[in-house]
Chains A and B, each alone.
Chain A
Amino acid sequence: MGNVPRIPAGRETPTDGSSPTNPAVPGSPVPPAAVAPAAVSPPGEPDARFTFANERTFLAWIRTALALVAAGLAIVQLLPPFHGIRWGRHAIGIPLILLGAIVAVVSYLEWDANQRALRRGDPPRHSRLPQLLAVIVGLVALAAAVLALISS
């Protein structure tokens, strides 16, 4: 925010002896893209590009969560009822709505854990979300297929 002074590009203070030379100098061996992040990351913070990438991953999961909620609600409210099975739409729609809430919370926890890992210089954590999503969406699809078969 406002309390972080902006350092002009190309004039960042080297944090260690291995810092590359001024990227603004023509003929520098280091391409500017490789060193410029120092200009946007405050001291003690990870490379701004990693922080941004982590944030975008979180946002992508958030949109996935919203899509799951929308799909679940659409199934319960817009799908014609299954013949003879009154709870059929609820059985496949409500798990998707709940999965949306779980994905939102877990994606925040994973974002936070990854941010800590970045700050410590650790590798990014292995995300559990793809597995969770694959298993539950697979089960819901299976349930939908069974409902469609026995109601016809």
Chain B
Amino acid sequence: MSRAGDSRADDPGLARARTRLAWTRTALSFAAIGAVLLKLDLAAGFVVLALSVLVWAVGRLAGVPGTSARRGRLLVIALAVTAVSAVALALALFGPQTAGLHL
């Protein structure tokens, strides 16, 4: 991918750069949840960490015009979050009953 998008004339309002950063934040959110899940359920944690890598990879493509390709990518992200929610729901319902943190 060209780095030409960093120049102001090519990227008005730095829209592309800001979108790339938004993708990075989103991938980091996935990674943070994956890291926390590792503590509760190793397999679920690794699944979500793998999803964070997927989000990061999809985000690398941000800034490429062409909405038809974009459409499928964003659907993948929405479904990934739904999957994380399903994993969390399963853990909440069938996971170990913890005594909670007593600080």
In A66-96, the 8 Å CB interface with B consists of: 66-67, 69-70, 72-74, 76-81, 89-90, 93-94
A-B contact pairs, 20 of them (CB 8 A): A10-B9, A23-B9, A32-B9, A40-B12, A41-B65, A48-B65, A49-B12, A55-B70, A66-B33, A69-B84, A73-B92, A76-B91, A76-B92, A77-B92, A100-B81, A101-B81, A101-B85, A104-B85, A108-B78, A115-B71
**Does A134 belong to the interface (CB within 8 Å)?**
no
Chain A neighbourhood of B11, CB < 8 A: 40
**Does A63 belong to the interface (CB within 8 Å)?**
yes
How many contacting A-B pairs (Cβ < 8 A)?
Answer: 156
Please report the C-alpha to C-alpha distance between residue A94 and residue B93 in the assembled complex, in whole angstroms: 9
* Chain B binding surface, main DSSP class: helix
Whether B78 pairs with A59 at a CB distance below 8 angstroms is no
Whether A59 pairs with B23 at a CB distance below 8 angstroms is yes
Which of B12, B86, B95 interacts with A37 by CB under 8 Å?
Answer: B12
Q: Assuming the A-B contacts A69-B81, A73-B92, A101-B81, are A36 and B98 also in contact, with contact meaning beta carbons closer than 8 angstroms in the complex?
A: no
Which of B19, B63, B84, B98 interacts with A77 by CB under 8 Å?
Answer: B98
A residues touching B (Cβ–Cβ < 8 Å)?
1, 4, 6, 9-10, 23, 32-33, 36-37, 39-42, 45, 48-49, 51-53, 55-56, 58-60, 62-63, 65-67, 69-70, 72-74, 76-81, 89-90, 93-94, 97-98, 100-101, 104-105, 107-108, 111-112, 115, 119
